[in-house]
Amino acid sequence: MPRRLRVIGLALAALLVVLAATWAALAIGYRAPGAPAARALLVALWIAFALGVLVVLLRHDARCALGAFAVAFALVLVWWSGIAPSNTRAWADDVARPLRGHVDGDRVALDNVREFDWRSDTDYTVRWEARGYDLAQLASTDLLLSTWGHPSIAHMLVSFGFDDGRFLAFSVEIRREKGEAYSEIAGFFKQYELIVIAADERDIVRVRSNVRGEEVTLYRLALDARQRRALFLAYVAEANRLAATPAFYDTVTSNCTTLVYRLARPIVGHLPLDRSLLQTGYLPEYLERLGGLVPGVPLAELRARGRITDRARAADASATFSHDIRVGVPGLDAAR
């Protein structure tokens, strides 16, 4: 029995070393300073060290091996904890300016509202605007899901409509540096900062449907006037917070859906945890169960009539883009 316990203990210790060493190798590979070749060398040295620890652990002195690994892993953790988010990097053009807002009663003044004219992902006209909104005219809230590849993978936007016919869409996004591409794995390793973008729908919806070829579906949310106002202000407050105090994106814990979930939970009450917080494409099913979509209309119909991709491509850069994409969407009147 003691021998069996020792074998089990060694196996568990070896598994712990493998898991910790794998995490550290990825952390070093993604976040260690220096050129890619230098990072690759550091990763190779770390893997060689971890393999050596496993050999000593399984064949010789378990205490010595675990002690050496614990010290080395602690040093990695100290280095890791010192990696701080920043608002001063060479940002990609579309995430270069953080949204900032000032609220005075019903009046909201926003700086750095994006209104790019996209011709392709690399050819666009840069335009940032200062805009004012009257929360007394806040009339609607819509969820837009943009999907590509697998239907469970989606990006979420929330768009607010006003009585004067204007719409403003909010999107929680990674703040990429120039030339940087998105990676789900890198998103676990402090690779990207977070940013809240507020944009005209001809920019932020059209770039996905018309330029990137994604499928976009729009759903009217069943929020009352108090909830609409509170959610709008929560976005503004979060944008101000991130503009003042940068934070890292995380693929699981702090992404385009989980951050909005944290904003919405105090506003609408109890929101149970659900797989759609990670697989955003399933958000409509989640919201339907909670009564958050247009009542009395089957979800299949909401999805089919809410598919705006073809209408967006037909409208293209039309001044009535926001009206055109909503034609036939359940829960919307003819004026919107």
| Number of alpha carbons in the 13 Å side-chain half-sphere of residue 250 | 7
206 shares its domain with 320: yes
Q: Is residue 177 part of a domain?
A: yes
Residue type, 54: L
Q: Note whether 138 and 224 are within 8 A (CB).
A: no
Q: Note whether 282 and 137 are within 8 A (CB).
A: no
Q: What is the pLDDT of residue 130?
A: 98
76 shares its domain with 121: no
182 shares its domain with 292: yes
**What are residue 132's phi and psi, to 5 degrees?**
-120, 145
Q: Is residue 86 part of a domain?
A: no
121 shares its domain with 235: yes
Domain count, the chain: 2
Q: What is d(CA 331, CA 305) in angstroms, rounded to the nearest whole number? A: 11
Q: Is residue 40 part of a domain?
A: yes
Q: What is the pLDDT of residue 238?
A: 97
116 shares its domain with 243: yes
181 shares its domain with 284: yes
Q: What is d(CA 336, CA 331) in angstroms, rounded to the nearest whole number? A: 10
Q: What is d(CA 141, CA 13) in angstroms, rounded to the nearest whole number? A: 52
Q: Is residue 256 part of a domain?
A: yes
69 shares its domain with 121: no
Q: What is the pLDDT of residue 333?
A: 57
The model scores a pTM over 0.85 = yes
Q: Is residue 332 part of a domain?
A: no
130 shares its domain with 63: no
The residue from 41, 57, 81 where one domain ends is 81
Instruction: Give the pLDDT confidence of 186-209 residue by residue, as tens digits.
Output: 999 999 999 999 999 999 999 999
Q: What is the pLDDT of residue 109?
A: 98
Q: Note whether 200 and 168 are within 8 A (CB).
A: yes
Q: What is the pLDDT of residue 71?
A: 97
Q: Note whether 198 and 268 are within 8 A (CB).
A: no
Q: Is residue 335 part of a domain?
A: no
173 shares its domain with 239: yes
> Structural domain of residue 40, as residue ranges?
2-81
Q: What is the pLDDT of residue 335?
A: 39
77 shares its domain with 117: no
Q: What is d(CA 257, CA 262) in angstroms, rounded to the nearest whole number? A: 9
Instruction: Give the pLDDT confidence of 284-325 residue by residue, as tens digits.
Output: 999 999 999 999 999 999 999 999 999 999 999 999 999 999
Q: Give me the residues paired with residue 198 across strands.
A: 170
171 shares its domain with 127: yes
Q: What is d(CA 209, CA 170) in angstroms, rounded to the nearest whole number? A: 16
Query: Which regions of the chain does DSSP assign to beta strands (E)?
Result: 100-104, 107-114, 117-118, 124-125, 128-134, 138-147, 154-162, 167-175, 193-199, 215-220
Q: What is the pLDDT of residue 1?
A: 52
One digit per residue, the tens of pLDDT, for the chain of length 336 reads 577 777 788 889 999 999 999 999 999 999 999 999 999 999 999 999 999 999 999 887 888 999 999 999 999 999 999 999 999 999 999 999 999 999 999 999 999 999 999 999 999 999 999 999 999 999 999 999 999 988 888 999 999 999 999 999 999 999 999 999 999 899 999 999 999 999 999 999 999 999 999 999 999 999 999 999 999 999 999 999 999 999 999 998 888 899 998 899 889 877 888 888 888 999 999 999 999 999 999 999 999 999 999 999 999 999 999 999 999 999 875 334
40 shares its domain with 119: no
Q: What is d(CA 255, CA 23) in angstroms, rounded to the nearest whole number? A: 20
Q: Is residue 116 part of a domain?
A: yes
Q: What is d(CA 199, CA 190) in angstroms, rounded to the nearest whole number? A: 26
Q: Give me the residues paired with residue 129 across strands.
A: 113
Q: Is residue 88 part of a domain?
A: no
